[in-house]
């Protein structure tokens, strides 16, 4: 007899977890064409496939978050343009990117739906900022203005590198099994005031929050750096393992 779908929309007969990876809408040039495209760097996709998941790229679509969450087993929020400062009650800084309101709304709705259903979430770079804003937190809009180390941004078009101190008692600490990490990074914004229910679990040497989690949720890990550009797959392994539907081996 065919297996009935679970009430939360995740099919227990599917043995390989499907990971939704959010994309941005940007102007791309290829061949003779220049047009708006839904884009995600391939390193995110490869990080999922290498750790046993099936990647699905999620183009931002108004009102589609609930339907999307019914069809995936785990969610990855990726890097991209800055979150609209209006979402955390701020006026845009001159260095803040032009916002993408459709992507902002889509990712906030995805977070709401994913956490309500107990799906695991890994949020990266812009993703940690989306998580913090989702919970009512605020962001530093331009790190040079707050005296942050220039290593956060690196060189134009390249990743920098800096140290992150990890709380060994946190969920992140249990995942990485190290008190310090050297991480690839490229960002000019960062978490300022923490959102409700979130706790910092990783910090750079200049005191910026580099990782967040919500202890009340089964699996929400958010990092400011770019693990997909590093050599340690542990965060992706953990996401894929947590996304295996209950009862599936």
State the SS3 of 78-90: CCCCCCCHHHHCC
Checking if the pLDDT of 197 tops 90, the result is yes
Domain ranges of the chain: 18-243
Q: What is the residue-averaged pLDDT of the chain? A: 92
Among the options 107, 125, 152, 186, which is catalytic? Answer: 125
Mean pLDDT of 125-139: 98
Give the pLDDT of residue 6: 45
Q: Other CB atoms closer than 10 Å to residue 17's CB: what's the count?
A: 24
Give the pLDDT of residue 135: 98
Tokens of 105: 């709304």
Mean pLDDT of 196-218: 96
Mean pLDDT of 171-192: 97
Checking if the pLDDT of 111 tops 70, the result is yes
Among the options 162, 187, 219, 226, which is catalytic? Answer: 226
Give the pLDDT of residue 157: 86
Mean pLDDT of 21-35: 93
Residue 35 among the catalytic residues: no
Mean pLDDT of 109-128: 98
Give the pLDDT of residue 19: 98
Helix pair angle (126-134, 101-117), 10° resolution: 70
- As a whole number of angstroms, the distance between CA 28 and CA 21 comes to 19
Output the pTM of the full model: 0.92
Instruction: Give, as one character, the DSSP assignment of residue 248.
Output: -
Residue 37 among the catalytic residues: no
206 CA to centre of own chain: 22
Tokens of 23: 């994309």
Among the options 107, 210, 213, 228, which is catalytic? Answer: 228
Q: Which CATH code fits 18-243?
A: 3.40.50.880
Residue 228 among the catalytic residues: yes
- Widest distance between CA atoms in the chain: 63
Give the pLDDT of residue 5: 44
Checking if the pLDDT of 4 tops 50, the result is no
Q: 188: closest CA among 243, 134, 247, 146?
A: 146
- As a whole number of angstroms, the distance between CA 218 and CA 238 comes to 12
Tokens of 154: 């690196």
Give the pLDDT of residue 3: 37
Give the pLDDT of residue 167: 98
């Amino acid at each position: 007899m065919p297996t009935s779908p679970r009430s939360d929309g995740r099919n227990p007969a599917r043995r390989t977890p499907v990971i939704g990876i959010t994309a941005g809408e940007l102007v791309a040039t290829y061949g003779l064409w220049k047009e708006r495209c839904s884009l995600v760097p391939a390193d995110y996709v490869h990080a999922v496939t290498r750790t046993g998941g099936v990647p699905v790229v999620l183009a931002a679509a108004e009102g589609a978050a609930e339907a999307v969450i019914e069809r995936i087993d785990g969610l990855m929020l990726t890097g991209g343009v800055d979150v609209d400062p209006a979402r955390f009650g701020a006026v845009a800084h001159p260095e803040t990117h032009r916002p993408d309101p459709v992507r902002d709304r889509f990712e906030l709705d995805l977070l709401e739906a994913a956490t309500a259903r107990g799906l695991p979430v890994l949020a990266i770079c812009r993703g940690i900022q989306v998580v913090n804003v989702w919970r009512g937190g605020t962001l530093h809009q331009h790190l040079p203005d707050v005296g942050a180390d220039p290593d956060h941004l690196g060189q134009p078009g390249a990743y920098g590198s800096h140290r992150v101190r990890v709380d060994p008692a946190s969920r992140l600490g249990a995942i990485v099994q190290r008190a310090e990490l050297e991480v690839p990074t490229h960002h000019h914004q960062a978490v300022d005031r923490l959102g409700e229910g979130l706790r910092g679990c990783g910090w750079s040497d200049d005191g910026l929050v580099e990782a967040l989690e919500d202890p009340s949720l089964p699996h929400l890990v958010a990092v400011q750096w770019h693990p997909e550009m590093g050599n340690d797959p542990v965060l992706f392994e953990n996401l894929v393992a947590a996304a295996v539907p209950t009862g599936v081996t």
